[in-house]
Amino acid sequence: MKTSPSICRRKARYSSRDAAESVAQGVFERDALKLRVYACELCRDFHLTSRTKGMKVPAYELEQFRRK
Ligand SMILES: [Zn+2]
């Protein structure tokens, strides 16, 4: 995903996909807000985005879906 430098600076950075995903999971469980993790080509870390189009659905969201 293309990220502009201003967006990169503004966003929280996570050094691993796992770390970013556990934050996304917490937000999802608390606020039902769907976030996706993506690797930033500028800082080489990971950010979260609310743009879910075309992104892989994480396991915890599928889990939630099955439970309902
Ligand atoms: Zn970045």
Dist CA 44 CA 14 (whole Å): 9
- How far does residue 52's CA lie from ligand 1's centre (Å)? 18
> For 2-54, how does the pLDDT look when each residue is reduced to its tens digit (9 = 90+)?
779 999 999 999 999 999 999 999 999 999 999 999 999 999 999 999 998 88
pLDDT band at 56 (very low <50, low <70, confident <90, very high): confident
- How far does residue 64's CA lie from ligand 1's centre (Å)? 29
DSSP labels, 2-47: ---HHHHHHS--BSSHHHHHHHHHHHHHHH----EEEE-TTTSSEE
- How far does residue 50's CA lie from ligand 1's centre (Å)? 15
Q: What pTM was estimated for this model as a whole?
A: 0.85
- How far does residue 48's CA lie from ligand 1's centre (Å)? 10
- How far does residue 23's CA lie from ligand 1's centre (Å)? 16
